[in-house]
Amino acid sequence: MRATASDAQELKRILEVYERASGQVINRDKSSIMFSPNTSHQVRNSMVSDLSIGFEARSERYLGLPVSVGKSKKRSFEYIKKKIWSRIQGWQEKLLSKAGKEILIKAVAQSIPTYAMSCFDLTKGLCEELNMIIARYWWSQQDKTNKIHWLSWKKLTRSKKKGGLGFRDLHLFNLAMLSRQAWRLLTSPNTLCGQVLKARYFPNSDILHCQPRAGISYTWRSILRGAELLKEGIIWRIGNGENVKIWEDPWLPRGSTRKLVTPRRSCLLTRVNELIDPVTGEWDEQLICDNFWPEDAAEILRIPINVHMEDWPAWHFDPKGLFSVKSAYKVAVTRRDALTGRDGSTSGNVNGGGDEFKWHKIWQLKVPNKVKMFVWRLAHNSLPVRRNVANRGINIDTMCPVCRRFDEDCGHLFFKCKFAKLCWRLMNMEHIRAELVNCQSGVETINKIWGFDRHIQLKVIVFLWRWWSARNKVNEGERMQSANEICSSVCYFLMEVQKLERNAMKQTAVARYSWKPPPADIYKINSDGSFDPSSRSGGWGFVVRDSSGEVLAAGAGNITYAASSLQAEAIAVYKSILQAARLGMTRIILEMDATVLASALKSCCVDRSAIGGLVYQIRDIMCDDFSCCTVSVCNRSCNKVADCLAFYGAYVLFSGSEVFMNQVPDYVKDIVLGDLPNIV
Ligand SMILES: [Zn+2]
């Protein structure tokens, strides 16, 4: 508000109305007032007395967040830096393994700023400083030696699948948190906050089309930065198509742009509803094929529509169409890597060789975390063997600390050093050593190891790790363990690992499933879809049975356009429930083997998945046409009749459908009999 007497009067009036309506009284002693810096003392004083609020707020925090973010963002958020700094200082004294540090960093240090990040853009500069504090802690050694950052922070923030450790890039995470605010405003525009912001900043459009202007608040500016990221993943689901622009809006569930590839040229079509036949409420196939390239046309025809609804937004990168900070963060990281990979400074190293390496296999190894971390560092060639340390410009004697005869690099230490060779022989693995000795890099070595069978794989990895620990002891001036000691510790360790595994195996019991008939007076409908990803077409099938297992109806049909097996499953449910309604059934159980679909049908929330339109149609029929309609999930082995019918629809019927009453075609008869409870 402006600092004028009339604005003060108006605010007072609003507060009085609130007090009368709610019966609550505002405590003016606990209230404070804030002025912009150019407000004169005279005005300040008169405002304070007009509003009878005595306190002036100065760079205070309310509920843990800064009340106002001034020109210097750095100063406003300084407290976050201090907090992380002091937390990490507390950990310095503890001797923690890399695996332990990983947990502390992920669970504590990186979550300290999340609260502020959900409201403010902490700025790239500050986030980078925080990253540095954390990186320094990660690479700090317990021994006084050195503080080399063996890998860039950017590499550590890649997912474990891509060779990183899944640490957060704080700035990108910040943007992902802000995009959640934008998503909320987009999907719940009727909240009080949503209405106020809309009236103030975008009365005639939506948040996706709102541009930052001079003079807007820092919070709002921050949310708009989140909206930028949100746009990278938004997709429109088609209801009546009135609000979606054919050429500009993302609405095709395909690729990264989610837009048409057909060039517009002089085409007069503008909105999606123009592509829908007003009589049938279905796509106008002819019009679509005439105006768009075949790949666009086929994609459009696969989109389910529901003309009784408005179009609604969804998040493209989630199968259910729901936004999550995690998913938005992934999108931001992918975008960062694509941008930096292209600038040439990294000479393709970002996406080269290392990407094909199966990093995830490291984390799937059945060994303790510290061993995995060791393998990960070996693969990156980031173990502090002496040659590597010297390569980082540190003046150090590069002689192998074990044999004192050759330079120590990973090749020498693990495969050529005469003491290591002794161990390999002692474990009957000389032939394995011979295969590994000529590898040129960590990645190549580990790749070779992945090629061995599981038992050897584990033995090699555990040995390398024990050997590394023995080397570290010598490096720190302790006694060298004998080859016998090392080898027996490897065997002991492997035995322990196998014992754990056997116990886990015992606990997975084998269960048998069979189809169960419904209770009396209720009909059970099993349905299933079949989908062929190469032609992107499929089939549907269903069977209706009563409490004795008798077939009342069955059906099968072909699906010309489908985008996923889930869509085929949903079409199958739709066809079956239509048939049941036509037959006048009122109490039914819909049984399917697709868990995702079943929970979508059971839910009453907004469905933002790609098949949302279909889900709504089914939910409507469920409510309108049946007095009792439940959805249940079954194992695939209980759904064989429907599965077989769907297969028939996809591959035998080339178009159209067939419905069978009171009997089933010969080819599924045996399966129906097999489902009957009393036949052995
Ligand atoms: Zn040596």
How far is ligand 1, taken at its centre, from the CA of residue 469, in Å? 14
Average pLDDT, the chain: 86
pLDDT at 343: 40
Three-state DSSP at 304 gives: coil
H or E stretch covering 313: strand 312-315
Tokens at 606, concatenated: 């907004």
pTM metric for this prediction: 0.72
- How far is ligand 1, taken at its centre, from the CA of residue 451, in Å? 27
Q: Please write the tens of the pLDDT for every residue from 532-574.
A: 888 888 999 999 999 888 888 899 999 988 999 999 999 999 9
pLDDT at 528: 95
Each residue's pLDDT tens digit, 434-489:
999 999 999 999 999 999 998 899 999 999 999 999 999 999 888 888 988 898 88
State the distance from the centre of ligand 1 to the C-alpha of 422, rounded, in angstroms. Answer: 11
Predicted pLDDT of residue 493: 86
Span 140-196, pLDDT tens digits: 865 455 577 888 888 888 888 889 998 989 999 999 999 999 999 999 988 988 898
Instruction: Retrieve residue 28's tokens.
Output: 């003016």
Q: Which residues contact 586 (CB under 8 A, 6 or more apart)?
A: 625, 626, 627, 628
pLDDT score, position 679: 42
Instruction: Output the CA 505–ligand 1 centroid distance in Å.
Output: 41
CA of 415 to the centre of ligand 1 (A): 9
637: left (phi over 0), alpha (psi -120 to 50) or beta: alpha
Residue 53 has pLDDT above 80, yes or no: no
Neighbours of ion ligand 1 (CB under 5 A): 400, 402-403, 417
Q: Report the separation in Å between the CA atom of 425 and the middle of ligand 1, taken as the mean of its atom positions.
A: 16
Output the furthest CA–CA distance in the chain (Å, rounded). Answer: 97
What does the pLDDT read at residue 540?
A: 94
In a 3-state reduction of DSSP, which class is residue 658?
Answer: strand
Q: How far is the CA of 359 from the centre of ligand 1 (A)?
A: 29
Per the CB < 8 A criterion, the answer to whether 170 and 113 are in contact is yes
Under DSSP, the state recorded for 34 is -
pLDDT value, residue 317 = 94
Q: Which of 128-132, 210-214, 428-432, 655-659 has the lowest mean pLDDT?
A: 655-659
SS3 state at 348: coil
d(CA 280, ligand 1 centre) in Å: 80
pLDDT for residue 347: 38
* Average pLDDT score over residue span 502-529: 78
What average pLDDT does this structure show over 34-39?
Answer: 78
* Ligand 1 midpoint to CA 414 (Å): 9
Identify the pLDDT of residue 350: 40
Quote the ligand 1 centre to 62 CA distance (angstroms).
61
Residue 510: band (very low, low, confident or very high) from pLDDT cuts 50, 70, 90: very low
**Alpha-carbon gap, residue 648 to 659, rounded angstroms:** 12
Tell me the CA–centroid distance for residue 386 and ligand 1, in Å. 11
Measured in angstroms, how far is the CA atom of residue 252 from the centroid of ligand 1?
60
Cα(417) to centroid of ligand 1, in Å? 4
CA of 449 to the centre of ligand 1 (A): 22
Average pLDDT over residues 236-263: 92
SS3 labels along 558-624: EECCCCCHHHHHHHHHHHHHHHHHHCCCCEEEEEECCHHHHHHHHCCCCCCCCCHHHHHHHHHHHHH
Share of the chain above pLDDT 70, in %: 92
Sign of the torsion angle spanned by Cα atoms 620, 622, 626, 628: negative
Q: For the chain, which domains are there?
A: 5-60 (no CATH), 74-168 (no CATH), 169-232+332-345 (no CATH), 234-316 (no CATH), 360-505 (no CATH), 523-675 (3.30.420.10)
Strands 65-66 and 61-62: antiparallel
State CA 606 to chain mean position distance: 20
Q: Which of the two residues, 179 and 334, has the higher pLDDT score?
A: 179
Question: How far is the centre of ligand 1, averaged over its atoms, from the C-alpha of 475 (Å)?
Answer: 12
